[in-house]
Structure 1
Amino acid sequence: MKGTDQKNISLLPVLVLLLLFWGLAFFSSIRSAVDTWIRLETFTHCFLILPICIYLIHKKWHELNAVKIAPNYWMLAALAMVLFLWSAGQLAQVIVVEQGAAFLALPMMIWAALGNQAARVLWFVLLFWMFSVPAGEVLVPYLQQLTADMTVYFLQMVQIPVYREGLYIAIPGGLFEVAVACSGIRYLIASVTLGALYAYLTYQKTSKRIIFLIFSLFLPILANGLRAFGIVIIAYLSEMKYATGIDHLIYGWLFFGIVIFIMFSVGNIWADPIEEQSERTENLTANVPVKPFLSVSVGIVAVFAAILLFNHHASRVEIVEAGDFAARLQLSEMENDSWSPKFVGASDVASGSHDGLDYYLAFYGENVQDRELVNSENRLFNDKKWSIVSSVSMQDAQLVELVALNGQKRWLAYTYMTPKLSSALDWKVKLVQALEAVMGQAQPGGYVAISAFSHKGDDSRNKVETEMKRLLSKGYQGVFSGD
């Protein structure tokens, strides 16, 4: 066009530059996410998200050529909030928040650099990219309970005698546990990811896409309940010869393949006809104005630099030391520690017995990577040997009844203690620590658990509950600092 000296840059190098800058800026968060993809099979599919996004961008390339590429400076404000969230997640060691914000930053940067029209064309790619975040493990306990509920319900429907206690299911001839691997979390996450992609590629109407996404959410949950029921039935009919051990896993993955086949087959019934792409724009090359792109790039770098400076300032906190809390509680050696919790990287741990009660206390003088009071690897009790039968909320604590594989029962009361809060809700404690981290304050805290064997007609529950109330009345300072 005559009369203009506007210089442009090709769209492809812009996208590559944004990806490279994002990779360098968030390297530590990306590396921790990739480590999770490698370590947990639940998130192995995350390795496919980037190639799929590249393919989807390729499919939409002709539409990008037809829209106006103009940076959106307002997105810099949204990016600043996302980066602040990322910084808070890092400081408070909330990995899912840190990783979620880090991966969300890339779509924000693309939106800011290319503008609203381009973001409208790439809306699904920008959303689908978020399936790279390895999140969802928090759902495992709820899925375990739901799977156990469905298994017992189906067994009762076919009139097989069944007795359930917690996550243990007993039938004539065998005892089953709904373990973490039986929760169906792998099926659920993989199904929703595939369901979202299938809905986008197969349907044009938003209503159809939403319905199919909901279908892909509920189908694997129901299917996993049927799978668990099927395993129990096969074991029951074969007198425990089949559907145990490796057979359990083989049936599981085979069943998952069948579920995905059913999901796609049902979805294909209402598939929309494939629209022909316009060939007129296919060979064009979209361009980005150089000056606006440079200015928005400077804005992105400036926002990121400001967050890094804030992060560096807020992370300089001192480590808090604990008092001799073990001596104050006068703990002797515990006779049976099979219930004992597991807290990784604690500054100090004490366990033992006193006056018929078992105690476990873990103290953290700081809140940094691998030394966190609230961490997904920490265990409130030994969940490999014990399962929750019932749970009752106390003020600032939780009281649960546990059952072991051999039928033994225990009462357990637990809570988290910090200088500002005592609560059994880990998210509430993590939120308080996040606020302390953002303000550059120390984030000490501890976990307190009291337990006792439960026998019919005894007062073990009352003793555990009373002792927890006594410790709560002393507070964090009285238990851990001794002030």
Structure 2
Amino acid sequence: MTFLKSSIFKYLVAIFALWAVLFYSSIQSTVAIWYRSETFAHCFIILPICIYLIKLKWAKLNNAQIKPSLLAVLFIAATLFVWLFGSMAQVLVIEQLATFAMLPMLIWCLMGREVARILLFTSFFWMFSVPAGEFLIPQLQELTANITVMAIQLTGIPVYREGLYIAIPGGLFEVAVACSGIRYLIASFTLGTLFAYLNYNGIKKRLIFIAFSIVLPLVANGIRAYGIVMIAHLSDMKYATGVDHLIYGWLFFGVVILVMFTLGGRWADPIPAKVSQVNPNGPKVNFAKLLKPGVVLAIVLVVGFGYKQAFKHQVSNVQPDMAQIFSVQKPIADQRWLPIFHNPTTVISGNQDGTDYYYAYYNANLQDVELINGRNKLYNIETWSIVSDDANERFRMLEIIDNYGNKRLLAYAYVTPWHITHKSLEIKLVQAIQALLGQPQNAFILMISVPVTERDSDFEQLEKQASALFNQDLKALLNDQ
């Protein structure tokens, strides 16, 4: 095949191989997420689709002039710094975004601006390989619950909502993570973007359809959740309460995508005329022109990877003395609320003067051994959901409820040697700076909790305790003693 024998194809394959070797560990962690998460299983087909998109542009690529760009090295250096930031601070989404953005940057650097411009959309679509978006789940759960309750009220059925729990006379429903619609949203956005590019020539029509592909699954997921509640209600809770409601959900999503494509197809533009293929074998690569940008690129990559190697795996020898904070350690009566933090260096929990407390310390910030991680949870999300929250600069207070109606108040903050806050992004930023400076990123979470009996008085009392606790110089516990 001419496609496989051309110099352009061989050059692209060589750049892809270079990228894969340089960023193997980051790519491996990304593929592991694709494999274990159904939300991102579609990422496996992004590369084949990108190859197809390149094939569509083959005539233009074969007529393009290969002229390596020294300017692109500046953007590669900036992207490499972002990658270092994400990798050393263990912020996977930033590390992976920089990793996959690096491939288009390398193509621009080694093949030139004209090739990069021809592959602009392909490069954009390539970024759908990054498994990002799960941070939207709480907001999507809230939106789904709002739409469901509103629809039930319009139906005339009595409904009561608290947190993510929705009660009707026939039963109790929870808007769980699986009901958030995140899978629908990501899949619809990905397919909608591809459909818009292939079927419309103008940027305005493309943007309108892409916006439609985002809004439609959000509304449709709320309607789907409402349909599940109504099916369960009308069948006396016999149907749509188990696996069948997941099957119904995917069938419903298939119909939604069909409707989206059918409506979008009505305004599809004519297929553009094909570009004549002047040079079917592609232009010759002038390796002499590669020398200057190639050398500068090599220096940038050696410095970046060398810096990471020099400062990786920094571990602190400090062991905070929590006896200074909690002198009485009684067992917690109800441990169902306890946070879930994976692989901490030290965990302490107990009860002092009627207040439960929890402490988890990490003496480093390594993969799967880190304070801020998507797998770590402030409470057991399988049995509890948030009713309300309130925060100041140092600590945050949450009111949570379980499916039996029991409520608790939580107050927590994260502590590093530099900073105390409840904001996980700030902690990650601090840890990234520490990593870049070659310092260990030790930190801990400290949380106190009480059951709710009289909400206002309990809230006021816990807020006073939290203010006294988190306004102490807790950072001193992490400094060398």
Calculate the TM-score normalised by the size of structure 1.
0.95
Take 2:245 and 2:256, find their aligned partners in 1: how far apart are those partners? 16
CA RMSD of aligned residues (A): 1.6
Take 2:456 and 2:141, find their aligned partners in 1: how far apart are those partners? 30
Residue 459 (1) aligns with residue 457 (2): yes
Residue in structure 1 matched with residue 362 of structure 2 by the alignment: 364
Change (3 A) 1:478 1:452: farther
Residue 301 (1) aligns with residue 298 (2): yes
1:154-209 CA distance string (max 9 Å, x none): 11111111000000000111100000000000001111111111110000000011
Residue in structure 1 matched with residue 441 of structure 2 by the alignment: 443
Listed as ranges, the matches of 1:295-374 within 5 Å are 295-315=292-312, 317-326=314-323, 328-329=325-326, 330-374=328-372
Change (3 A) 1:387 1:64: same
Take 1:249 and 1:370, find their aligned partners in 2: how far apart are those partners? 30
Aligned residues: 475
Residue 274 (1) aligns with residue 265 (2): no
Residue 392 (1) aligns with residue 393 (2): no
Residue in structure 2 matched with residue 413 of structure 1 by the alignment: 411
Take 1:460 and 1:323, find their aligned partners in 2: how far apart are those partners? 29
The counterpart of 1:180, out of the listed 173, 177, 180, is: 177
Calculate the TM-score normalised by the size of structure 2.
0.96
1:350-384 CA distance string (max 9 Å, x none): 11111111101111111111111100000011111
Change (3 A) 1:457 1:412: closer
Listed as ranges, the matches of 1:25-44 within 5 Å are 25-44=22-41
Take 1:303 and 1:481, find their aligned partners in 2: how far apart are those partners? 35
Secondary structure of the structure 1 residue equivalent to 2:388: strand
Name whichever of 401-410 and 273-282 sits farther off: 273-282
Secondary structure of the structure 1 residue equivalent to 2:318: coil
Q: Which amino acid aligns with 1:476?
A: L
Change (3 A) 1:64 1:480: closer
Residue in structure 2 matched with residue 114 of structure 1 by the alignment: 111
Take 2:15 and 2:273, find their aligned partners in 1: how far apart are those partners? 31
Is the 8 Å Cα contact of residues 348 and 362 (structure 1) preserved in structure 2?
yes
Secondary structure of the structure 1 residue equivalent to 2:473: helix
Take 1:391 and 1:464, find their aligned partners in 2: how far apart are those partners? 13
Give me the identity figure in percent. 46
Unaligned runs of 5+ in 2: 1-5
Residue in structure 1 matched with residue 95 of structure 2 by the alignment: 98
Take 2:273 and 2:392, find their aligned partners in 1: how far apart are those partners? 62
Residue 47 (1) aligns with residue 37 (2): no
CA displacement at 1:111 relative to structure 2: 0.9
Is the 8 Å Cα contact of residues 408 and 452 (structure 2) preserved in structure 1?
yes
CA displacement at 1:331 relative to structure 2: 1.9
Residue 17 (1) aligns with residue 23 (2): no
Change (3 A) 1:400 1:482: farther
Take 2:187 and 2:256, find their aligned partners in 1: how far apart are those partners? 11
Residue 422 (1) aligns with residue 415 (2): no
1:249-279 CA distance string (max 9 Å, x none): 1011101101110111111111001123134
Take 2:76 and 2:130, find their aligned partners in 1: how far apart are those partners? 18
1:370-413 CA distance string (max 9 Å, x none): 11110000001111111110111133111111111101111111
Is the 8 Å Cα contact of residues 63 and 281 (structure 1) preserved in structure 2?
no
Residue in structure 1 matched with residue 3 of structure 2 by the alignment: none
CA displacement at 1:326 relative to structure 2: 4.9
Secondary structure of the structure 2 residue equivalent to 1:287: coil
Take 1:87 and 1:280, find their aligned partners in 2: how far apart are those partners? 42
The counterpart of 1:56, out of the listed 45, 53, 57, is: 53
Residue in structure 2 matched with residue 205 of structure 1 by the alignment: 202
